[in-house]
Amino acid sequence: MISVEEALAEILSHVQPLEPETVPILDAQGRVLAEDIVSDIDIPPFDNSAMDGYAVRSPDVAGATPESPVGLAVLGSVAAGYVAEVRLEPGTAIRIMTGAPLPEGADAVVPYEDTSDFDRSKDDRLEAPADEIQVRVAVGARDHVRPMGEDVRKGERVMACGRVIRPQEIGVLASLGRESVLVHRQPKVAILATGDELLDVHEPLVPGKIRNSNEYTNAALVTRTGGIPIRLGVARDTEAHLTERIRTGLQRGADLFLTSGGVSVGDYDVVKDVLGSEGQMQFWQVRMKPGKPLAFGLLPGGVPLIGLPGNPVSAMVSFEQFARPAILKMLGHADLAKPEVRAVLDEPLTNSGRRAFVRVIVSRKEGRYHARTTGEQGSGVLTSMSKANGLAIVPEEIYYVEEGSEVVVQMLDWPEGMSL
């Protein structure tokens, strides 16, 4: 049997980041930059006011105090989006709004609150501003001025290749005047369930049959990870049908295949035979529970295939350990691991010499994370995944974990409202 790390390393050695494509910035959310972003402008592009108030020459008001204010003649007003047409001469001021360019001759801004153009009883400006104002507080050069280039300097590298695009990166790109951006392409992931017992969701249950849940879980996992699922439906447990489905997926341009079922030791586990003849496959026993059987290999054209186990919980746990990192790597991500926390176990756990991934519910109590199991842990009990928000990891060599001891939990989700 091989370890989880050995299996993952082998899989990752066969997948590479996909080639870049250009997408509109709003479509780049969650994607990974495939270019360095260098600014060809200063942001802000000009010195501007950080406050609503009066643009002044700071030496004029150097001695201003509430007791002996300094009077200045108001030459006019400048709003954001406009440029003052007059130059500030000694003894004058220009009314200025936040974001408006600093008028020529001015070197500082006095906020309204520090002038006679302010009604303290209403905490607001005077209704009818006067032609002359009294400045009650001194300002130094550059006070309340946002200097040109404060945010970004012309020629600066603002983001490097590999950056994951969030809303704030989209905003920065917009402020740089970028309509589109180069990101790694999303992998098309072919999803193929195998098994004569499988019915689709709309089909009535008949004796011996069950519904095909893996196709849906896998498609949703692929989407959530950032890939594009290509659903190939169910392959019957015959070599001919499975071969036909795999060829269809290749024709549809799959970058990665995810199959489920047919990789263990049953009589009808034909995936093994087909994959052996269609490509170069390896069949592994991974030292983990659930998820011991796993297949991996390359189809014609070097397209990787991950053969997940059939049991719905095993398939999901194996997806998180092997398929998710592979998809993330194809998307250009450097951070491939799921977030982990250390949690206090609220009940004891037993283990059997493989790495256990125990479905748990993590909650926060008195400043610590606590984990309790979701109950029945059978690898066919998919509701155990539905109840869980984490997988408690019990190492191979640990056979018993006492209640009250700490375990590492791989978080499946970060529940809304759970503090760090």
Q: What dihedral angle (degrees, nearest 10) is formed by the CA atoms of 359, 270, 303, 385?
A: -10
Residue, CB closest to ligand AMP? 310
To ligand AMP, the closest distance from the beta carbon of 206 in angstroms equals: 14
Instruction: Give CA angle at 371 (366, 376), nearest 5°.
Output: 150
- Give the residue with the Cβ less far from ligand AMP, 59 or 266: 266
Contact between 256 and 303 under an 8 Å Cβ cutoff? The reply is yes
To Mg ion, the closest distance from the beta carbon of 231 in angstroms equals: 18
Q: Is 318 in the site for ligand AMP (CB under 6 A)?
A: no
Contact between 102 and 109 under an 8 Å Cβ cutoff? The reply is yes
Q: Is 309 in the site for ligand AMP (CB under 6 A)?
A: yes
Q: Which of 17, 20, 69, 195 binds Mg ion (CB under 5 A)?
A: 195
Q: Is 311 in the site for ligand AMP (CB under 6 A)?
A: yes
> What phi and psi values does residue 312 have, to the nearest 5 degrees?
-55, -40
Q: Is 261 in the site for ligand AMP (CB under 6 A)?
A: yes
Number of residues that bind ligand AMP (CB under 6 A): 18
- Give the residue with the Cβ less far from ligand AMP, 110 or 381: 381
Contact between 56 and 106 under an 8 Å Cβ cutoff? The reply is yes
| CA neighbor of 196 nearest in space, from 242, 228, 230, 248 | 242
- Give the residue with the Cβ less far from Mg ion, 227 or 261: 261
Contact region with ligand AMP (CB under 6 A), list: 103-111, 121-129, 242-250, 254-262: 254-262
Give one DSSP letter per residue of 194-247, joined into a string.
E-TTEE-TTSPP-TT-EE--HHHHHHHHHHHHT-EEEEEEEE-SSHHHHHHHHH
- Give the residue with the Cβ less far from ligand AMP, 39 or 212: 212
Contact region with Mg ion (CB under 5 A), list: 77-85, 188-196, 281-289, 382-390: 188-196
- Give the residue with the Cβ less far from Mg ion, 53 or 293: 293
Q: How far apart are CA 250 and CA 248, in angstroms?
A: 5
Tokens of 266: 């049953």
To Mg ion, the closest distance from the beta carbon of 308 in angstroms equals: 12
- Give the residue with the Cβ less far from ligand AMP, 195 or 279: 195
Q: Is 293 in the site for Mg ion (CB under 5 A)?
A: no
Contact between 50 and 146 under an 8 Å Cβ cutoff? The reply is yes
Helix 271-278 vs helix 239-251: angle between axes, to the nearest 10 degrees?
Answer: 50
- Give the residue with the Cβ less far from ligand AMP, 148 or 222: 222
- Give the residue with the Cβ less far from ligand AMP, 35 or 197: 197
Q: Is 193 in the site for ligand AMP (CB under 6 A)?
A: yes
Q: How far apart are CA 420 and CA 414, in angstroms?
A: 9
Q: Is 266 in the site for ligand AMP (CB under 6 A)?
A: yes
57 membership: H or E segment, kind and range: none
Exposed (0-12), middle (13-18) or buried (19+): which is 63, by Cβ within 10 Å? exposed
Q: Is 264 in the site for ligand AMP (CB under 6 A)?
A: yes
Please write down the long-range contacts of 88-91, taking CB distance under 8 Å and 24 or more positions apart. Answer: 88/55, 88/56, 88/57, 90/57, 90/60, 91/60
* Interface mask toward ligand AMP for 211-250; x: CB under 6 A: -xxxx-----------------------------------
Compute CA distances 96 → 80, 223, 297, 352, whole Å.
8, 49, 67, 73
Q: Is 291 in the site for Mg ion (CB under 5 A)?
A: no
Residue type, 38: V
To ligand AMP, the closest distance from the beta carbon of 412 in angstroms equals: 19
To ligand AMP, the closest distance from the beta carbon of 174 in angstroms equals: 43
Q: Which of 53, 261, 293, 297 binds Mg ion (CB under 5 A)?
A: 261
Contact region with ligand AMP (CB under 6 A), list: 54-62, 152-160, 304-312, 392-400: 304-312
Contact between 347 and 404 under an 8 Å Cβ cutoff? The reply is no
Task: Report the interface residues with Mg ion, using CB under 5 A.
Answer: 195, 261-262, 310
Task: Report the interface residues with ligand AMP, using CB under 6 A.
Answer: 193, 195, 197-198, 210, 212-215, 260-262, 264, 266, 309-312
